[in-house]
Amino acid sequence: MRDRGFSLVEMIVVLVILSLSISLVTPSLSRFFRTVELKGAAKKISGILRYCRSEAVNKGLVYQVLFDSDLREVRVQSKESTEAKKEEENKKEGKVPKKAYSLPDGIRIKKVDVASPEYSSDFPTIEFYPNGGSNGGSVLLDGQDRNGFNIEVHFLTGMVKVVKVEGLKQ
């Protein structure tokens, strides 16, 4: 009668099958995590843009979102609108301290298309005005796997839309 248990050959076969399946699954998991990270960055930036639009309307200020592609950073600052400056000329200057969001490693700002902003800036800037509008534009985020997300801001309404883009050229 045979003893209960597994032979050494059976154990080796099971280990070989497990190692092969792990080696096949691991690359697809890393691609999945890069895509999730890219999507998260796109959602974070679109959230920043929506927040700035909301704050511009609520506070009656002009909010700027600056895109620094060299540092892979998005910065926010507010400026007093021209109407508010006329009413309150003796108050503080129009700048509020900048807030910044750095993109995760492997994600970059590939392209920023914006109309000319009301206030000058050294970086491509999307502005949101107290009436809810903006200067409009789009920002293309690029991942390492030829996929990306285009974040579009409508100039008239200031509404933000995120669109997935596939097959980007490196």
Using one digit for the tens of pLDDT, what is the confidence trace for 109-120? 999 999 888 888
Contact 64, 77 (CB under 8 A): yes
pLDDT above 80: residue 161: yes
Give the mean pLDDT of 112-130. 90
> In the prediction, which pLDDT does 159 show?
95
Tell me the whole-structure pTM to 2 decimals: 0.75
Going by pLDDT thresholds of 50, 70 and 90, the confidence category of residue 2 is low
The answer to whether residues 150 and 163 touch, using CB atoms and an 8 Å cutoff, is yes
- Residues 68 and 79: beta-carbon distance below 8 Å: no
pLDDT at 168 over 80: no
Pick from 33-37, 50-54, 87-91, 121-125 the range whose average pLDDT is largest: 50-54
Instruction: Write the Ramachandran bin of 60: left for phi over 0, alpha for psi from -120 to 50, otherwise beta.
Output: left
Could you please report the per-residue DSSP string of 57-101?
A: HHHTEEEEEEEETTTTEEEEEEEE-HHHHHHTTTS--S----EEE
Residue with tokens 């639009």, as numbered in its chain: 53
Residue 98: per-residue pLDDT: 65
Q: What is the pLDDT of residue 91?
A: 41
Q: Would you say residue 8 has pLDDT above 60? A: yes
Task: Tell me the C-alpha distance between 78 and 2, whole Å.
Answer: 80
Give residue 139's pLDDT: 96
Determine what percent of the chain is predicted with pLDDT higher than 90. Answer: 61
The domains located in the chain, with CATH, are: 8-166 (3.55.40.10)
d(CA 111, CA 116): 16
Beta bridge partners of 140: 111, 150
Checking if the pLDDT of 167 tops 50, the result is yes
Q: Which two tokens stand for residue 151?
A: 């974040």
Q: Name the H helices within the chain.
A: 8-59, 82-87
In 3-state terms, what secondary structure has residue 145?
A: coil
Give per-residue pLDDT as tens, 88-99: 443 445 544 568
pLDDT per position as a tens digit, 40-97: 999 999 999 999 999 999 999 999 999 999 999 999 998 864 444 444 443 445 544 5
